[in-house]
């Protein structure tokens, strides 16, 4: 039996094809101006890649920002539930999940058997999200992938004190003018992202093993900054952290269809 998880996020659409044990395939693309048609296109691509028809998929479950509008979905579920199911698939004993996506960040607290016991979300402000990191990359004329690597090379971090992404950008420009090295600025930026998300998590209790997911969990600079902020060498990052929600959706679909 095969199921499909579709995560329609504010920045990207993610699809996972699941066989009950492992990911058979996954696809990611930008949501663009028409996320629903993007998701449909990606769904057809996934089926075509495996010579499947829609009737071969026992259940399709949608999640994410656009979950209620995907016409091929049999069901929809919240990102919180789907992310948790995706993380628990890899790390059954995890206590909390930090998720940083394109335009929001959230912290989910898990209890016994991966049950969600609380969550907090920032979807009001760009600071502390992937969008903010993209703005910084643009200001510094590097790609997001490049700034992640640049931050790993060197020591020390400057303070980025502005609470707003727009003001933080001016702060970064003034640091460039006073010749602060780019890697020092970047570690400062990533630490400010880490400080924000950990402060968000402090509204719950961030104890025990913590996982990090979302597109931004592909940024090794942010991983280091969160470890630094948590004062811990251990942060569990699943393989392909961007597709965790879609994986969780596919897992929940599998359980429902079994």
Binding status of residue 192 toward ligand ADP by CB under 6 A:
no
| Burial of 186 from C-beta contacts in 10 A (0-12 / 13-18 / 19+) | buried
* Smallest distance, ligand ADP to C-beta of residue 177, A: 26
Whole-angstrom Cα distance, residue 145 to residue 69?
32
The residue behind tokens 């990606």 is: 42
Closest CA to 89 of 107, 113, 116: 113
Binding status of residue 5 toward ligand ADP by CB under 6 A:
no
Binding status of residue 29 toward ligand ADP by CB under 6 A:
no
Residue range at the interface with ligand ADP (CB under 6 A); choices 44-52, 144-152, 185-193, 223-231: 144-152
Among 3, 6, 12, 150, contact with ligand ADP (rule: CB under 6 A):
12
Alpha-carbon torsion angle 138, 31, 26, 83, nearest 10: 90
Among 2, 3, 4, 9, contact with ligand ADP (rule: CB under 6 A):
9
Binding status of residue 219 toward ligand ADP by CB under 6 A:
yes
8 has which bridge partners? 13
Q: CA geometry: angle at 133 spanning 127 and 138, to 5°? A: 125
Binding status of residue 35 toward ligand ADP by CB under 6 A:
no
Residue closer to ligand ADP (CB basis): 101 or 201? 101
Binding status of residue 39 toward ligand ADP by CB under 6 A:
no
Among 105, 242, 246, 251, contact with ligand ADP (rule: CB under 6 A):
242
Binding status of residue 218 toward ligand ADP by CB under 6 A:
yes
**How many residues belong to the site for ligand ADP (CB under 6 A)?**
19
What residue spans of 110-218 are helical by DSSP H? 130-139, 144-150, 165-177, 182-201
Q: Which of residues 56-115 bind ligand ADP (CB under 6 A)?
A: 101-103
Whole-angstrom Cα distance, residue 219 to residue 212?
11
Residue closer to ligand ADP (CB basis): 2 or 240? 240
Among 5, 66, 128, 130, contact with ligand ADP (rule: CB under 6 A):
130
30 has which bridge partners? 12
**DSSP class of residue 71?**
T
Whole-angstrom Cα distance, residue 226 to residue 105?
13
What are the residues binding ligand ADP (CB under 6 A)?
9-12, 101-103, 130-131, 134, 144-145, 148, 214-216, 218-219, 242
């Amino acid at each position: 039996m095969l199921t499909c998880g579709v995560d329609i996020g504010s920045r990207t659409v993610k699809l996972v094809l699941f066989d009950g044990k492992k990911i058979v395939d996954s696809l990611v693309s930008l949501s663009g101006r028409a996320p629903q048609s993007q998701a449909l296109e990606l769904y057809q691509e996934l089926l075509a890649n495996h010579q499947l028809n829609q009737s071969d998929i026992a259940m399709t479950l949608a999640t994410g920002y656009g979950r209620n509008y995907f016409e091929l979905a049999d069901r929809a579920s919240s990102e919180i539930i789907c992310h948790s199911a995706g993380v628990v698939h890899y790390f059954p004993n995890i206590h909390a999940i930090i998720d940083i996506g394109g335009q929001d960040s959230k912290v989910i607290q898990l209890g016994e058997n991966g049950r969600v016991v609380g969550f907090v979300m920032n979807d009001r402000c760009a600071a502390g999200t992937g969008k903010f990191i993209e703005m910084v990359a643009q200001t510094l004329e590097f790609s997001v992938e490049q700034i992640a690597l640049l931050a790993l090379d060197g020591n020390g971090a400057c303070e980025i004190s502005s609470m707003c992404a727009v003001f933080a950008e001016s702060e970064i420009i003034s640091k460039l003018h006073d010749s602060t090295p780019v890697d020092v600025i970047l570690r400062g930026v990533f630490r400010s992202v880490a400080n924000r998300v950990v402060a968000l998590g402090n509204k719950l209790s961030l104890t025990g093993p913590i996982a990090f997911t979302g597109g931004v969990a592909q940024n090794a600079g942010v991983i280091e900054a969160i470890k630094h902020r948590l004062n811990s060498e251990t942060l569990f990052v699943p393989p392909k952290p961007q597709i965790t929600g879609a994986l969780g959706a596919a897992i929940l679909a599998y359980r429902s269809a079994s």
